[in-house]
Structures are given as C-alpha cells and as structure tokens.
Chain A
Amino acid sequence: MKEILKVENLCKKFNKEIILKDISFSLNEGETLCIIGPSGSGKSTLLRCINNLESIDNGKVIIDNNYLISYVKKLNKKLAQNINTTMVFQDFNLFPNMSVKENIMFAQQKALRRGKKEAEEIAIKMLKKIGLEEKQDFYPCNLSGGQKQRVAIARCLAINSKILCMDEPTSALDPELVGEVLKVIKELSKENKTMIIVTHEIAFAKEIADKIIFMDNGKIIESGKDVIDNPKNERTKAFLERFNYNKEAKK
C-alpha cells in the first residue's frame, strides 16, 4: 500500500507552552485514521498543522512523497492553499452569503478553475451522495447543524484532495443529528477515502478506523488498530474507562 502522509518529529509551541511534542506517524492511502484523546491534548492543533493553518516549530510533514512542510518561522499562507488536504471544521464554516450549491461550486471554480457546468455537475453529484439534493438552493442559515456539516463534507469532496481531515465533525451537533453525519463519514470510509478524523465518538472511531492514535498532553501515547479494544498504556486505559463509565451511566 502506498504511503500518503508521513509526519516526522513534529513540534509545536504557542508562545512558550509546548502543544505538540515530537509527533511521528504515517498513513497509507485509503486508510481512515482516528485521533482520540482528552480535550487540550493537541489533537486539533495536529490537524491544523497538517493543513498548514498553524506554523510548526520543528519536524516535517510529507504528503504523497513530494510535498513538504518543514519548520517555518512565520505561517506561509500560500502553503495553506495547497489542496493536498482539505478540512471539515467543528463549526462548519460554510460561506453564509452563498447557497448550498454555490458553497460547493465556489472553490472548484476559483481554485481548480473548473468550468461552471462541470463544477455544477460535481456539486449535484456530491449533494446526492450526502442526501441533500433538494436543498441545493437553500442558504446555510436555513439548514440544521447536521445538514450544514454534510454540506461542508460535500464541499471538501468536490475538491477531491488526497487527504480529508475532520476536526471533531460532530461535536457541535445535537445528539439527534450526529447519526446522519456519521453515516456519511462511514460511507466515505467504505469507499476508501483517505481520512484523518479527530473525534470524541469512541464507538464510531472503533467501527471505522483502520488506525487509531491516542494522544495526551501533546504526545502520541499509543497507536494501532486495537487501541480501543486492547489498550496497553495506563493513561489510555484510564481515558477509555471513563468513557465506558459514562456510557453505562447513560443506560
């Protein structure tokens, strides 16, 4: 299998506080990677570094063997415009002044220079995929949270980047709407889309992930396929136990 992402010794500081310490991992094409861990463990920052939304203080990010982000003092905005990776955000970040269809067409037309007709066809195809074809002329303010997040996913899919990153895609949704978003992500995982998902949905992570990383305090504590079923590290066990406890308490 082809290696699509390699992160080597990535370090990140905010002022003097160290957020990410020496993170290294790799990801193969077509795999789904889930990153779990407590709040403040640096999961989102890691994702933002891979997407070039944060500068890094040390280390390398190599995508598809040829693209490289290395230490830069200042964030180079041009780097963020590469479309090797796209990102789905916790708070959707749809463009409120554009309709659903325009949201999906916009980057295709302006960044990929696709013609209007082609962009529109792809947008409709993606809307069918997420089951929101009938909402194409709605504005984001008239959609529910779950629908907004599905549109955000479709917007990234239309760009067809090498890696699709999702930063807690269901955290801002009410419990009833989480299901519809997870269903879409599950389908993508089945289609072998390369994805990195930061999530608090442990059961969901277990179901779809080809690889799981558990992070705490800016470090990778444990990684592998059966981190959730068979944790080895005490910290991982403690984190997952609390989760299980919550689950039982809900019942």
Chain B
Amino acid sequence: MEILNLCKILFSGLGTTLIIFCITLFISVPLGVVVAILRNSKNKIISRIIALYILIIRGTPMILQIIFVYFAPYYIFRIYIDRFLAIIVAFVINYTAYFSEIFRSGINSIPKGQSEAACTLGLNMFQIYIYIILPQVIKKVLPASSNEVISLVKTTSLAQTIGIVEMFSLAQKQANYLFSIIPLILAGGYYLILVGIISIAFNKAEKRLRYYN
C-alpha cells in the first residue's frame, strides 16, 4: 500500500517531467535543423557565430546554463523570469546545439552530387532540402538522435536546480522523509519505462524507413 501511494506521488510529478521533455523536443529538433544549415553556411560570420554557440553550450555544464538563464536576467536587468520559462529556454538552447551537430553530420553525409543533379533539373535549394536531403538525413540520424532524446528524458531531473517540482525531486523528498531508498528505485523504474517506450518508437521508425538504402 505504501509503495502504491509512493507511485501515485511520483506520478504527479511525471507530468512536469513529460511537459519539459515534449516542449524541448518539439522546439529544439526543428531549430537544430536550422542551426545545422546555418553552421554549414558559406557566410563565414554566420558559421563562426554558430560554431561559437555550439562550443559554449557543449563546453559548459548544463546545470550552470540552467542557473545562468534563470538568474542572469535578475543580476543584469533586475527582473525575474518564470522558472518554467527559464527551464524550457535553457533546455532548448542546450539540446538545439547537440541536435544540430547530429543533423549537420547527416546533411554532410548526403553526396553533393544529388543536389547538383537536382539543381540542373531546375529545383531550388528549398525544394532540394525539403524533398531530397532532409528525408534522407532523418533516416541517417535516427540512431544518433535516439541517444540525445533518451538523455533528455533523464536530464529533465535537473529542473529541480531552480526549484521546479518534477518527478525526481519528489522522489528525493520522499526518500528523505521516509528514510528509504524505495522512492528512488521507483523513480528509476519510471525513467526506465519512458526510455523503453522511446526506444521502441525509434526502432519502429527505423524499420519503417528501411524501404530504401
């Protein structure tokens, strides 16, 4: 009975975990594609700015980025921003950088000849990206992006650093309160279930795209 009750308590935090996960994913994936294309840009100023952004984001701990996004507006402009907004912004900035590098490797792996052929057939760059390059990129980057997506599920637990109540923070609280390891084990179980679902979804997507090479 005690365990069932714990499950319910943790479940109430699962919503926040999932919302952070979903919003981050839906913004940072398309944004990652755009950043990847900009990183490849022939304009050196643009590509260098993007390179610097990726270096900074990948080169600093995420916990620092979260705290920075939340507190910097206060120290600089003396304004508070909403915790939830801050966490979404921090996650999007972070995951866009990682996704963009995965997508860039995918885009660069498509032979240049295909866009040249499409160009001589009268297609413009937009059509070439949408109909020829990106569909192939999706297939190529699925395995690598599943890593990122899985890590995102687990990284949502960092939201508690700026006081957001999500599943893992509830688990820790219960563990302290009950002086027991069981809440943490249950939290681990929830993460496992989520990651299991994601893995199955990725496997299915890979199978569906197996109709060409």
Contact = CB atoms under 8 A, between A and B. Distances in A.
| Binding between chains A and B | yes
Interface of A: 51-53, 77-78, 80-83, 85-87, 89, 91, 93-97, 106-107, 110-112, 139-141, 152, 155-156, 159
Contacts, number: 76
A93 B111 contact: yes
Closest 3 pairs between A and B when the two form their complex, measured CB to CB: A111-B122, A107-B121, A141-B213
Contact of B113 (A85, A93, A110, A141): A93
A93 to B, nearest CB: 4
B121 A156 contact: yes
Contacts of B113: 89, 91, 93
Interface stretch (B69-77, B129-137, B141-149, B187-195): B129-137
A73 B111 CA distance: 25
B197 interface: no
A123 to B, nearest CB: 13
Nearest to A139: B212
Interface in B185-206: none
Nearest to B117: A93
Interface of B: 111, 113-114, 116-125, 127, 131-132, 135-136, 139, 211-213
Contact of B132 (A51, A82, A83, A97): A97
A107 B118 contact: yes
B120 A51 contact: yes
A14 B94 CA distance: 40
Given A81-B124, A91-B113, A96-B136, A110 B131 contact: yes
A244 to B, nearest CB: 33
A85 B116 CA distance: 13
A217 B119 CA distance: 28
Contact of A112 (B120, B122, B132, B139): B122
A156 B121 CA distance: 7
Contacts of A51: 120
B212 A159 contact: no
Contacts of A156: 121
Nearest to B135: A97
Given A83-B121, A141-B212, A89 B116 contact: yes
A125 to B, nearest CB: 17
Contacts of A95: 114, 117-118, 132
B114 to A, nearest CB: 5
Nearest to B116: A53
19 contacts: A53-B120, A81-B119, A93-B114, A94-B117, A95-B118, A96-B212, A96-B213, A97-B135, A106-B121, A107-B118, A107-B121, A107-B122, A107-B123, A110-B122, A111-B123, A112-B122, A152-B117, A156-B121, A159-B121
Given A87-B116, A96-B213, A106-B121, 4 more contacts: A89-B113, A91-B111, A91-B113, A111-B123
A48 B213 CA distance: 28
A246 to B, nearest CB: 29
Contacts of A140: 212
A111 B121 contact: yes
A53 B116 CA distance: 7
B69 to A, nearest CB: 38
B130 to A, nearest CB: 10
Nearest to B42: A74
Given A97-B136, A139-B212, A141-B212, A159 B116 contact: no
Nearest to B209: A97
Nearest to A88: B117
A77 B136 CA distance: 22
Contact of B120 (A80, A96, A141): A80
A156 B120 CA distance: 9
A94 B122 CA distance: 15
A139 B131 contact: no
A106 B131 contact: yes
A200 B27 CA distance: 52
A159 B117 contact: no
B122 A83 contact: yes
A78 B211 CA distance: 33
A87 B123 contact: no
Contacts of A96: 136, 212-213
